[in-house]
Each structure stands twice: as structure tokens, then as C-alpha cells.
Amino acid sequence: MNNIPIDKIPPRGIVLAYFGDTELFEPYTVSDGKIICIGSGIFEKQTPDECHFFDEDEEFRLIRRRSRNDVVHIHLRRVDEENADPDLIYVQNVLVKTEHSIRDGIPKTLRIINRFAYTENDTLVLKNYRISYEKAGIKND
């Protein structure tokens, strides 16, 4: 588990990771400091370009920046959105492709909470977004 800070990711949730030519989209749990999910072996072999660990309230994201040879860690939480201006929060419910949603533990829709802000030039810009889901939307959970 090359440098994935296990203590920061939600203990149970869904992982969405992009590797060079494959993707991983599975429900996972953390136990004994290791990520347990179908296909988790790939974390030992390859470094992901982009990796999202999320549950309903939190997301922990790792983005690899080849230009700086570093990895950006971003932690997003629902509590931060509660104090925000509701006009600047936009929620999208995106459908998940059937080939994924029929699997156990994967919800039918993902909820994306977009956080906008105004710049000093008064342009609207997307500052960040958080991926989340509704537990009720998953079968067998």
C-alpha cells in the first residue's frame, strides 16, 4: 500500500481509482491497516494516477502530479458544506453504468456535491467537489 495514509481514509466505503490503463471501482473496508476489496492487489503493483475513497459523509482523494513528482492529498467532509452558502453548492445525482451497479455494494447513483466560489474577477469557478452516495441505494448492504 505504497503511501496511502490508511488512517485518513473512511474505514468503510467505495474506492474509485484510475491506474495507467485500468480502473478500480469497488466497495472496500479497512482492517489491520490494509484496504480489503476485490482487486486490492493492484495497489501493491501500481501507483494510481487518481484515487478516491468515499463514503456518505467524507471523501479522501489522492491525485498524482507527475509535473511535481508528488501526490496531492485532499480531504473533504460534509461538515464543511453545512456552513457554506447554499447558492454555491450544487448537487448532482449521476447514474452509474449498469455493468457496475448490478454488482454487490455499488449504488445505482452517485451524488456529487460541487463547491463553487467567486473569484476576485467575479467569475464563478469550481473549487472542489465531493463524491458521495446514499446507503439506501445499494442492494445487499
Partner 1 sequence: MYVVRIKTIGEVAFSGKMKMTAGYRYDIPFDELQLPYFSLSELLREKNIVLDNIAIGAAHPLGYTGIADAARKLLSVNSNCAPFIRGAFTNDRFITELGYSIRSLKAGQEYYAYIGFAEERKAEVRRLLNSVKQLGISVSGITGEVSMRLEQASDLTDDPAELSSLCRYNCLRYTLMLTTPACFYDPFGENAATHFYVPASAVKQYLGKVKSFSADDISSLRFTHAYISNSVKRLLPTPACVSVIKLEREQLRYRLASGKKADVVEQDIDLIETYCEGVDEHLVRYTRPETERITSPDGRLLDALSPGQMFSGMIFGSDKMIRSIAAHFEKEPMVSLGELSDCGFGEAYVRIDGADEERESAPTLCSEFDVCCMSDTLIYNSEGMAACTDDVFVDELEYILNAPDTLTVVGKYTKTCSDHTQGRPVCRCLAKGSVFRVRTKSGDPIDISPLLHCFAGERTDEGYGEIAAYPAVMQYYKAGQELAPTRYKLGVRFSYMRLNEGARFTTAVLTKMLQSRITGLAYIDRDEYKYGADANELYPVEIVSMLKQRYAPAISDELLKKWYKEGLENYRYE
What are the residues binding partner 1 (CB under 8 A)? 18, 20, 50, 61, 63, 65-68, 72, 74, 119, 125-128
Residue 98 vs 121, nearer CB to partner 1? 121
Residue type, position 131, single letter: I
Residue 34 vs 65, nearer CB to partner 1? 65
The answer to whether 88 touches 50, Cβ cutoff 8 Å, is no
Residue 124 vs 136, nearer CB to partner 1? 124
The answer to whether 126 touches 115, Cβ cutoff 8 Å, is yes
Q: Report the nearest approach of partner 1 to the CB of residue 137 (Å).
A: 22
Q: Report the nearest approach of partner 1 to the CB of residue 141 (Å).
A: 26
User: Which of left, alpha, beta for 38 (phi over 0: left; psi -120 to 50: alpha)?
Assistant: beta
The answer to whether 81 touches 89, Cβ cutoff 8 Å, is yes
Q: Report the nearest approach of partner 1 to the CB of residue 97 (Å).
A: 14
Residue 101 vs 128, nearer CB to partner 1? 128
Q: Report the nearest approach of partner 1 to the CB of residue 56 (Å).
A: 21
Residue 33, CA distances (Å) to 49, 63, 64, 84, 126 in order: 22, 21, 22, 34, 34
